[in-house]
Structures are given as C-alpha cells and as structure tokens.
C-alpha cells in the first residue's frame, strides 16, 4: 500500500515545486486577458489588460524555466528570451493603443 502524501510535504514535479506549477497555470489563464481588446474599446481597460497579459507571459517563462533546465541550455535561454520579448511587445502594444491617435 502506498504512503499518502501529507499536505505539508512539498510535492515536486522533477525539480519544480508544486507552487510554481500553480503559479504558471494562473499566469497562463491571465495571459488571455489580451482578449479584452476584442470586448471593449475603453483604452484604459485595454491598457491594464495588455500589461497584465505581458507580465503573465513573462511570468509563465519564469515559473516554468526550471522545467526546461534539463534540456539544451542554449534553447532554454532562447525560449526564455523570446517570451520576455513577447511580453514586452504586449506591454508596448498596450501603451501604443492607449496613447495612439484618434
């Protein structure tokens, strides 16, 4: 019979803590806030959701970075760098929309 794991024990997936996996999942869900621009044209709301989405994309890469650490290091760094660039572009896009003409 297998021993049950208590809630106080730290459950790990490889070398990733369960808390990091949960945070990564939350970031994945909040990254979909970028769809708010399809619902509203209120520039302030779109800016807030674009910034949250950009930070979430960067947070996903940061939280799941240890999951990829066993692979090829250069690919791991390239993935992380591209996700940071994507997040920064999303944040920049939100500010362009907010301060753009009209």
Question: Domain extents for the chain?
Answer: 36-97
Residues 5-64 pLDDT 10s: 554 444 455 556 677 777 878 888 888 888 877 888 888 988 998 899 999 999 988 887
Average pLDDT over residues 54-82: 86
pLDDT of residue 22: 79
Retrieve residue 83's tokens. 């996700």
Using CB atoms within 10 A of its CB, is residue 65 exposed (0-12), middle (13-18) or buried (19+)?
Answer: middle
Tell me the H-state helices in 3-101: 18-30, 36-39, 43-64, 73-99
1 three-state secondary structure: coil
pLDDT of residue 16: 60
41 three-state secondary structure: coil
Retrieve residue 39's tokens. 């619902």
Residue 81 has pLDDT above 90, yes or no: yes
């Amino acid at each position: 019979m297998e021993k049950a794991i208590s809630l106080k024990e730290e459950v790990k997936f490889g070398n990733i803590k369960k808390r990091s996996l949960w945070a990564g999942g939350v970031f994945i869900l909040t990254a979909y806030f970028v769809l708010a621009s399809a619902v509203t044209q209120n520039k302030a709301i779109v800016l807030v959701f674009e910034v949250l989405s950009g930070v979430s994309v960067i947070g996903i890469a940061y939280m799941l970075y240890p999951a990829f650490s066993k692979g090829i290091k250069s690919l791991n760094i390239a993935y992380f760098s591209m996700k940071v660039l994507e997040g920064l572009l999303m944040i920049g896009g939100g500010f362009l929309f907010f301060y753009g003409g009209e």
